[in-house]
A and B are shown apart, each in its own frame.
Chain A
Amino acid sequence: GAGVSQTPSNKVTEKGKYVELRCDPISGHTALYWYRQSLGQGPEFLIYFQGTGAADDSGLPNDRFFAVRPEGSVSTLKIQRTERGDSAVYLCASSLAVNTGELFFGEGSRLTVL
């Protein structure tokens, strides 16, 4: 596709369940970012990948959160033992190069933990 694609667009789950959110970046973009946006707030950095490796995971809130990008393209954000406080919109973005250039965002995955 032409833009960053995120699935699912909406996910409702129960507290304690495991969730996977997928991001398909723009073809050829080597840098991929995950952000979390709570209601009324700006996006909060979670992790970014340069190629297959996580170059900076300093924003992951705790060890329940994990992300992978095994082939340097699609990325999956994994959340274990979900809590109500994990409810937010999870945004994925990609860029052509890490040092320069704008980030192109997907429309996000809205996660609701009941």
Chain B
Amino acid sequence: AQKITQTQPGMFVQEKEAVTLDCTYDTSDPSYGLFWYKQPSSGEMIFLIYQGSYDQQNATEGRYSLNFQKARKSANLVISASQLGDSAMYFCAMRIIQGAQKLVFGQGTRLTINP
């Protein structure tokens, strides 16, 4: 079975600082994808970044990067130069490429950026 664990219920960071949101996962499948989504107070889920299990390099998308450590089964999200608009819930999720196709989410981390 797949499982995603996000151990930080809340994070508080000063504007312009970098922040790392933790995510560990558990699966026995060798082929999977890892996702990060942002959910602002409006409720929509916004896709941020994707990492495939066979990707050699860590994914980056603008200010977002994914620190993928396969041996440790961790996929932490790094946000550089945080902005007030980054305040939101952040969810890590995983999907097995073959077989079950559902995206399994963690419990989320509430990030608050202070001015």
Interface residues in chain A, defined as those with a beta carbon under 8 Å from any beta carbon in chain B: 31, 33, 35, 40-45, 48, 50, 55-56, 58-59, 89, 91, 93, 98-100, 102-108, 110
List 10 A-B residue pairs with CB atoms under 8 Å apart, sorted by A's residue number: A33-B103, A41-B107, A43-B45, A44-B105, A45-B104, A102-B47, A103-B45, A103-B47, A105-B37, A110-B43
Q: Which of B62-115 contact A (CB under 8 A)?
A: 91, 93, 97-98, 100-108
Q: Does B25 contact A (CB under 8 A)?
A: no
Q: When chains A and B are docked, how far (Å) is the Cα of A59 from the Cα of B108? A: 19
Is A43 touching B47 in the complex (CB atoms < 8 A)? no
Q: Besides A40-B108, A42-B106, A55-B101, 7 other CB < 8 A contacts?
A: A41-B108, A42-B4, A43-B91, A89-B43, A91-B45, A98-B101, A99-B98
Q: Mark B36-57, 1 if CB is under 8 A from A, else 0.
A: 0100001111010010000000
Tell me which residues across on chain B come within 8 A of A55, comparing CB atoms. 101
Interface residues in chain B, defined as those with a beta carbon under 8 Å from any beta carbon in chain A: 4, 33, 35, 37, 42-45, 47, 50, 91, 93, 97-98, 100-108
Contact pick for A42, options B42, B102, B105, CB 8 Å: B105
Q: When chains A and B are docked, how far (Å) is the Cα of A10 from the Cα of B33? A: 32
Q: Known contacts A43-B45, A108-B43: does B97 contact A100 (CB below 8 Å)?
A: yes
Q: In the complex, which of the residues A31, A43, A106 has the most CB atoms of chain B within 10 Å of its own CB atom? A: A43
Is A31 touching B101 in the complex (CB atoms < 8 A)? yes
Q: Known contacts A42-B91, A100-B33: does B45 contact A105 (CB below 8 Å)?
A: yes
Is A104 touching B47 in the complex (CB atoms < 8 A)? yes
Is A45 touching B45 in the complex (CB atoms < 8 A)? no
Q: When chains A and B are docked, how far (Å) is the Cα of A20 from the Cα of B12? A: 39
Q: When chains A and B are docked, how far (Å) is the Cα of A50 from the Cα of B100? A: 12
Residue of A nearest to B104 (CB): A45
Residue of A nearest to B45 (CB): A105
Tell me which residues across on chain B come within 8 A of A40, comparing CB atoms. 108
Q: When chains A and B are docked, how far (Å) is the Cα of A42 from the Cα of B108? A: 6
Q: When chains A and B are docked, how far (Å) is the Cα of A20 from the Cα of B77? A: 36
